[in-house]
Amino acid sequence: MANTDLMSALVISGVTFSIDYGQESSGQAGGQTRVKDLRSPLWRMKADCSTLTLDQLRRVRAIVGALGGSLGSFYAWDPAAQFPAADPDGAILGASNVLISGLGAGAKNLLLKGLPAGYVLTVGDMVSFDYGTSRALHQVVTPSVVANGSGVTPEFEIHPPRRQGAAVNNVVSLKRPSAEMRIVAGSLNLSADGMIGQAGFEAVQVI
């Protein structure tokens, strides 16, 4: 089971949260550039916490220790996309039970249900859901998605594409939607300079 406490313990001063597409490119004799997928896309995070109190540093150290460093996993979200842009604190969503309504015509499509009537998702918003033993994290690509009076969205586009296993009625999170991640071995820094603690690491999605 992934740890849920590490992100809440961090006081982040800088973060990069992005997709590693796992691609390579090669130049051809005719001048063309060809791109090849080597694996499925994975979310990556690089976090920097340079202003921790010593108490905050001790808490982070304890949680990382409980993870066994890079052995365990934790749920990570993008601090810049913790809630939909049109509902910046999640108050409109409230305790709504959001589910997958349909998978659409292709792996890049999704429909949701259980939203408040008229609820709006916009390009860049994040959604996550569990399936099997994995957690999916996707970003909305469609410029504007508006739930109808029954709380059901039209079909909209997401990236990266869905993996096999997503199903109708999977529970969807729009509040701090997250990916399961593991700290990249060798990237962890937990240190103190006088009374100021510092923490930093890179993490990669677990699927």
What is the pLDDT averaged over residues 191-204? 95
Q: Do 172 and 184 share a domain, yes or no?
A: no
Q: Do 135 and 162 share a domain, yes or no?
A: yes
- Whether residue 1 is contained in a domain is answered as no
Quick check: 29 pLDDT over 90?
no
Report the chain's mean pLDDT, rounded to a whole number.
93
Q: Do 141 and 193 share a domain, yes or no?
A: no
The one-letter amino acid at 70: S
Instruction: Please tell me the predicted confidence (pLDDT) of residue 1.
Output: 67
Q: Are strands 156-159 and 74-76 parallel, antiparallel or unpaired?
A: unpaired
pLDDT digits (tens, 9 = 90+) for 39-96: 789 999 999 999 999 999 999 999 999 999 999 999 999 999 999 999 999 999 999 9
Q: Do 72 and 87 share a domain, yes or no?
A: no
Q: Do 92 and 123 share a domain, yes or no?
A: yes
DSSP one-letter code for 33: E
- Whether residue 117 is contained in a domain is answered as yes
Q: Do 141 and 186 share a domain, yes or no?
A: no
The span from the CA of 86 to the CA of 88, in Å, is: 6
Count of CB atoms situated within 10 Å of the CB of 139 = 18
- Whether residue 115 is contained in a domain is answered as yes
Looking up residue 171, the CATH number of its domain turns out to be: 2.40.30
- Please tell me the total count of domains within the chain: 2
- Determine if the pTM surpasses 0.85: yes
Q: Do 86 and 147 share a domain, yes or no?
A: yes
The candidate with the shortest Cα–Cα distance to 1, out of 192, 139, 183, 135, is: 135
- Whether residue 187 is contained in a domain is answered as yes
The one-letter amino acid at 116: P
Q: Do 40 and 88 share a domain, yes or no?
A: no
The boundaries of the domain holding residue 21 are 6-25+33-77+180-205
- CA dist 64 to 105, 133, 190, 198, 204, Å? 41, 22, 10, 14, 15
Q: Do 88 and 168 share a domain, yes or no?
A: yes
Query: What is residue 22's three-state secondary structure?
Result: coil
pLDDT digits (tens, 9 = 90+) for 97-133: 999 999 988 899 999 999 999 999 999 999 999 998 8
Q: Do 107 and 185 share a domain, yes or no?
A: no
